[in-house]
Amino acid sequence: MLSRVADAIYWMSRYVERAENVARFVDVNLNLMLDTPVHHRSGWESLVLTTGDQKWFEAHYDRANSSNVGWFLTFDQSYPNSILSSLTAARQNARTVREVISREMWQQLNEFYLMVKEASRHPFSIEEMSEFYNRVKLMGIHYEGVTNATLSRGDAWSFARVGRHLERADKTSRILDVKYYLLLPTITEIGSTIDQMGWNALLNSASALQMYRQLYHTTTPQNVASFLLLNRQFPRSILYCVAEAQKSIHSITGTPLSGCANEAERFIGSIQAELNYTRIDVVMEVGLHEYIDKLQLALNDAGAAIADEFLAPSR
């Protein structure tokens, strides 16, 4: 497969996943803003900090209130990681490889883009956006389903899976980090109704609440972190995503999973080994925020190695 084709498919998949996960990301904060007392509604600035784009935001907005941050993450076309910008980029990449992807994928992606584009023309009120974010999440799931149902299991499918799972691992780590960086209650509120609502909102943002409750009867920080970091079966856990990305990379190269033929395989394999053998009590002792920071840097290194090994050099 030509590197430019691999590049377009990989980034098309990442951008669609990014749009879906930004909706999940904002939804964590929106649900808590609507469900908790007023003194818990000051997290929008911290939400910007968690994106890593605080300087960009401060250069374009006067303050981090709900309307500004909501627009910034959802419809701001000058911000490259907003939902609308991500879907615009995904559509542009898809257009260059229409002969490689299925017609159904192209149609679903167009419908997704047009739905978000149309919503951006309406008066914006973050308090009324919950239904919209749910639609974004569902359309992201539908796109993944169409891809799996209509694309042959060759290199195109593998590159799409690598992009989707690396993006999902990164965003799941950020969604999890929101709880500690943005929503951690005071000592007096730990275990309270407010605290439980926060953890439930976090799990719901990853569509994980029902599956979590099949394993755990109580909602605790350690159990939630274990489920979203280290569960081997839940499709949005970080370990699951990294393992699937590793399988896809090895499918492209033909290298056995037990081997390592390039830096991309080495980086992915090292992340999976770290997650395979870590214990959640050790993670919590080190500090979840610190652990996630290191994990995100490792995921960035893996993405850079994949780009160097397989993708178009111009990106």
Q: What angle do CA 267, 8, 79 make, to 5 degrees?
A: 90
What residues does each domain of the chain span? 3-310
Angstrom CA distances, 161 to 157, 263, 290, stand at 6, 18, 28
Identify the pLDDT of residue 130: 86
pTM: predicted TM-score of the whole model, two decimal places:
0.90
82 DSSP assignment: S
Identify the pLDDT of residue 186: 45
Place of tokens 């883009």: 113
Question: pLDDT per position in the chain (315 positions), as tens?
Answer: 789 999 999 999 999 999 999 998 888 777 776 655 544 445 677 778 778 888 999 999 999 888 899 999 999 999 999 999 999 999 999 999 999 999 999 999 999 999 999 999 888 888 788 899 999 999 999 999 999 999 999 999 999 999 999 999 999 998 888 766 655 544 444 444 445 677 887 888 888 999 999 999 888 888 999 999 999 999 999 999 999 999 999 999 999 988 888 999 999 999 999 999 999 999 999 888 899 999 999 999 999 999 999 997 654
81 DSSP assignment: T
| Helical H segments across the chain, by residue range | 3-35, 44-51, 54-60, 66-74, 83-96, 103-119, 130-150, 155-181, 193-205, 209-215, 221-230, 238-253, 263-277, 280-286, 288-310
Note whether 19 and 167 are within 8 A (CB). no
Dihedral, 78, 80, 86, 89 alpha carbons, nearest 10? 90
Burial 177-206 (b: 16+ CB within 10 A, else e): bbbebbbebeeeeeeeebbebbbbbbbbbb
**Distance between CA atoms of residues 129 and 111, nearest Å:** 19
Q: Which two tokens stand for residue 238?
A: 């970080």
